Structure 1
């Protein structure tokens, strides 16, 4: 505090805040940057290589994370959408079939899965539920297919589903199947909640599951 200090004002002798405290200083210029001087620091990397190594490792980890994330994105894209199976033709009746594999351990299957839809007016031929571009019926997966029938089947009453019990892990736990008539926009739910496996449950790999009632759908 300077000698001119009174009860009405303070005489400050400090000079380190002059640029900020002045009424006429609205902009404080940034420190100057000498690029050439900064680049000269790279000539002495050998004296302190740990900084460069750390930056290199972090950058490498970043690249690995980007590649992994992109790979996972491609896997997710491949899971989206329905697999359209070969059918009877343009004027045939189309049905969307959603197959829910259970979430319990080893619920997925390597077997080939087959399906026959049975309605009030008839039944479809056997359909092979497969997709050559991706692995289907994995644990917790929902696989969607579009199958066709030459003639309308009417309201679907049951679904006959089975597999050929081949591959390294043939056992399969089927949670449910949802069939939607794409022309009538009618949805039918078929609950299974059973193993299709030789060594699990009742040992059967063949099930005929019937349309669930409202009571079945509200039962926990």
Structure 2
């Protein structure tokens, strides 16, 4: 059989443009359309800025200072989900254990973004075991632009790949010059099982 396509309605452009003279009768509708257009432009600019920003991948390698580095730790870093929680400041840390301390390690030396609400994993080879992990010192250099200078750090989970031991560092704090305690660094003790059950 044959298929009949509907004929589109013709548009009278003269009448359409003449109706612009009656905008005062439709001020509410016109203001809503203008507001939505301005909001659209604003979001396009904002999203373009976010798109151009470098983000850290879900899994990154923290290079060892010296080789060989046969002992491996896996770090899982979780950023808060509230507005402004992510950062493009350079983040550094040191882990302390019963047998030693790591050198200073940088998570994002190229100022890649730790995006709000993200959970990122890092592989960190070291020369030897730190023993039982006791504390974490973590900070940033406040070099991020605008609202990305601050950082809300939720948790850092460290897994000793060789022994499968897990260490939890519960932070739930702003590292910021203007928010929370107005500090860009913090020291956190490893949480005990009793403390973990209380969260």
Alignment TM-score, normalising by the size of structure 2: 0.68
Aligned match of 2:39? none
8 Å CA contact 1:93–1:152 kept in 2: the answer is yes
Given candidates 161, 165, 171, the residue that maps to 1:186 is 165
Change (3 A) 1:210 1:128: same
Given candidates 77, 80, 84, the residue that maps to 2:61 is 84
Give the aligned CA root-mean-square deviation in angstroms: 2.4
Given candidates 80, 88, 99, the residue that maps to 1:102 is 80
Aligned match of 1:48? 7
8 Å CA contact 1:85–1:146 kept in 2: the answer is yes
Shift of 1:89: 3.2
Paired residues in the alignment total: 151
Shift of 1:145: 0.4
8 Å CA contact 1:173–1:193 kept in 2: the answer is yes
Measure, in 1, the Cα distance between the counterparts of 2:117 and 2:98.
31
Rg larger for: 1
Gaps of 5+ in 2: 10-54
Q: Which has the higher contact order (CA 8 A, sep 6+)?
A: 2
Measure, in 2, the Cα distance between the counterparts of 1:120 and 1:104.
35
8 Å CA contact 1:198–1:204 kept in 2: the answer is yes
Alignment TM-score, normalising by the size of structure 1: 0.62
